[in-house]
Amino acid sequence: MTGAATTGTAGRRPPRASRLRTLANEDVELRHHVVHGYRRAYRIAGSGPAILLIHGIGDSSATWADLIPGLARHHTVIAPDLLGHGDSDKPRADYSVAAYANGMRDLLGVLGIERATLVGHSLGGGVAMQFAYQFPERTERLVLVSTGGVGREVNPVLRAVSLPGADLMLSLLKLPTMRLQTHAFVQLMKLLNTDLGQDAPDLLNLVNVLPDATSRSAFIRTLRAVVDWRGQVVTMLDRCYLVRGMPTMLLWGSRDSVLPVRHAHDAHLAMPGSRLEIFDGAGHFPFHTDPIRFLALVENFVATTDPGNLGIEQWRELLRAGRRDASVEPSDAVGRAIGGQDIREASERSAT
């Protein structure tokens, strides 16, 4: 695998996503299955090696709708609504990253799928990494898109929503007067060409799909499992060594206002052999900004890498050996990425 980082063409207008569609809508319709007593919604299409698409917090499988047909030409594509999201049930339950990884394993088991390439966005990237940590023998590749769990930094709005009273704040955003004020603010951010202006429309859509108190409660419980007033509370940096040899690609927008692009470079350094692709001018949703490039990158990555074959015994040996950063000199780039104070703070924020 190449370790090079590349960017897109600055100022290029993204192609229309509708050009990607190659399947009829009914081929990717939403389906449901009850697992552990809870209804899980998911989309599935195509045939061939499996690709599991995991959305971010507050989102749903619909976020991948324009990409599924293209990927389904050569793969079985599964895109679930995480528990507490979309059309899945929203119980008072465990919404931790580890619990979501278990849920992905169980859904794949129900569908009779043994192994998959995981594509995770934001929170979904953290879930994908956790899945690879818990179930390495079932993971073929990792594609981490604007992924959570790299550094502490996160958009201040999400830190605020993790505080008490967040449910009231979210409910107020749906009032007509607040909608007008919020819309005006978004337009101003876009006019000023800020990074937040890049992401605001997508982020507001996440708020708009929280129709009731149950949905808002599930959203807040999920957020508080990974974010508090200080920032992100879980990390993947302290166990990146466990996916050594696992084909990994990082995709990020250069103007991500939710998780800064610096996290992409830190993760790239912490995961030797990984690929890094930066979408110049894109925000937190690069697959919305330039879906054609995104699809091409994922298809090329799958086609040019062999599936990871990390077995249980190999995983145990890596675990016993532990991280190698203790002997790394501070001048080493990887050491700077995952060593010293950074790794101590990361260890305090481990997912399990």
Domains of the chain: total: 2
Is 263 a residue of the active site? Answer: no
Q: What pLDDT does residue 157 have?
A: 80
Q: What pLDDT does residue 9 have?
A: 34
Q: What pLDDT does residue 117 have?
A: 98
The residue annotated as part of the active site, out of 66, 81, 256, 290, is: 256
CA distances from 102 to 78, 95, 225, 317 (A): 16, 11, 15, 23
Q: What pLDDT does residue 132 have?
A: 92
pLDDT at 48 > cutoff 90: yes
Q: Is residue 112 domain-shared with residue 196, that is, in the same domain?
A: no
pLDDT at 76 > cutoff 90: yes
28 versus 118: the higher-pLDDT residue is 118
Q: Is residue 222 domain-shared with residue 237, that is, in the same domain?
A: no
Q: Is residue 44 domain-shared with residue 118, that is, in the same domain?
A: yes
pLDDT at 334 > cutoff 70: no
The residue annotated as part of the active site, out of 60, 88, 122, 162, is: 122
230 versus 4: the higher-pLDDT residue is 230
Do the bridges between strand 76-80 and strand 38-45 make them parallel or antiparallel, or are there none, so unpaired?
antiparallel
Confirm if 308 and 271 have CB atoms less than 8 A apart: no
Q: What pLDDT does residue 285 have?
A: 94
Q: Is residue 209 domain-shared with residue 76, that is, in the same domain?
A: no
pLDDT at 167 > cutoff 70: no
Is 61 a residue of the active site? Answer: no
The residue annotated as part of the active site, out of 55, 265, 284, 288, is: 284
pTM of the model: 0.81
Confidence bin at 266 (pLDDT 50/70/90): very high
Domain-ending residue, one of 204, 227, 250: 227
Confidence bin at 318 (pLDDT 50/70/90): confident
pLDDT at 173 > cutoff 50: yes
Domain-ending residue, one of 196, 227, 258: 227
User: At a CB cut-off of 8 Å and minimum separation 6, what does 157 contact?
Assistant: 203
Give the domain extent around 191.
Answer: 157-227
Closest CA to 155 of 103, 117, 194: 194
Is 183 a residue of the active site? Answer: no
